[in-house]
Amino acid sequence: MEEILTVKSLQKTIGQKRILNDVDLTLKSGEILGIIGPNGAGKSTLLKIISGTMIPTAGSVHFSERKGVIGIVPETPAILPALDGFRNLELLASIRKKIGKREIKEAMETVGLDPSNSKPAGTYSLGMKQRLMLAQAIMEKPRLLLLDEPTNGLDPVGIIDLRNLLFKLSDDGVGIIIASHLLREIEVMCHRVVIFSKGRIIREVNLQEQSQGFIEIAVSDLEDWKRLCQWSQENSNSLKELPSKGLPRGLLQTNLTVPDLLPQLIYAGIKIESIQTAEANLEAAFLECARSEGGLYR
């Protein structure tokens, strides 16, 4: 896969505050890259610089196609409230003049909107406005798609539709960058994730590789949790506690499979409530980063 976006030594300073600090990033065609991090970490700033709405203090952003289209879904829906959805898109399309009514209708139908709906877009629900934003971002067949909190306002069906749409675009070779707070969604949608803190990338996680060797375990009570911690130390396995309001829960890194591990834990007297192979472990990676940084939110 060819690289479509290269970000080199990117810096952004506003007043005395450094928002981005030496950010290096690449994106390949068809790749879905997630950006996670606490509020104010610099995620949105990075997307704004890539899209050209913000100017970097230093460094460069290179998009492989000089006249290639970049699609953007902003953090909050931007619409002309007095016009219907189709007219909104038609006006935006008139800037580049690359597509006609047919393509606009197709884009609306792809995201589940009715192009013939003549209600003013200002009366749309938040989910519909978000779908309209997706339609405007994809209607001109972009080579690069930037999404800032794309699941905002989407209902569960909308989130699944979005996921399927992004997978389809990825298969078509579109490079996608998603900034979000929702670890679970990023985990499911992305091939690769970068964790941002204080304007720099503190870790890059390849979700496809990282999914190997992790098992998520929930135990009955704190006594069992202590036994599990002791067992993992004795057997040189790493155990990370996962935040949980219910049963104590953790992520165990091990070479064993669930059928091999389960008898050993039972033999050690640990009462297991649930055990499963972790498909991905972004939450663990994020928490590990938080620990090593002394808490991302501090």
Partner 1 sequence: MIGMWRMETIKLVRHKRWLAVIPAFLITTFISLDNLCAYPKLELNVWDGIFSTFFNYVYFRFIVLLVFVFLVTDTITGDISSKWVYLTLSRCSDRAKWYITKVASIYSAALIYSLLGVSIVFLASLTKLPYAGSLSAFSTNPPDLFKAMGTYVIPKGGNPFTLTAQLILYTSFSLGTFALIPVTLSVIIPKGQIGMIFSLIWIFISQFFQSSRTWMKIDIIPRLVYGAFFYPDALLDFSVSGSLLYLFAVAIGSSIIGIWFVRKADF
Considering the complex, state which of residue 73 and residue 289 has its C-beta at the smaller distance from partner 1.
73
Helix, strand, coil fractions of the chain, as percent rounded to 5: 35, 30, 35
Nearest to 179 by CA among 267, 284, 47: 47
Q: Which of 96, 101, 168, 271 binds partner 1 (CB under 8 A)?
A: 96
DSSP 250-262: EEEE-SS-HHHHH
The yes or no reply on residue 48 touching partner 1 (CB under 8 A) is: yes
In angstroms, rounded to a whole number, what is the distance separating the alpha carbons of residues 225 and 60? 49
Contact between 254 and partner 1 per CB under 8 A = no
Q: Report if residue 70 touches partner 1, rule: CB under 8 A.
A: yes
User: Considering the rule CB under 8 A, would residue 61 count as an interface residue with partner 1?
Assistant: no
Only segment of 76-84, 182-190, 202-210, 251-259 that touches partner 1 (CB under 8 A): 76-84
Q: Nearest CA to 32 among 140, 187, 152, 157? A: 187
CB-based contact 139:99 (threshold 8 Å) = yes
Q: How far is the CB of 74 from partner 1 (least distance, A)?
A: 4
Does 82 contact partner 1 by CB under 8 A?
yes
Choose between 122 and 295: whose C-beta lies nearer to partner 1: 122
Distances (CA, A) of 150 to 79, 114, 231, 253: 15, 20, 41, 32
Out of 130, 136, 197, 254, which residue is the one contacting partner 1 (CB under 8 A)? 136
Q: In the complex, which residues of this chain contact partner 1 (CB under 8 A)?
A: 14, 48, 51-55, 70, 72, 74-80, 82-83, 91-92, 94-97, 136
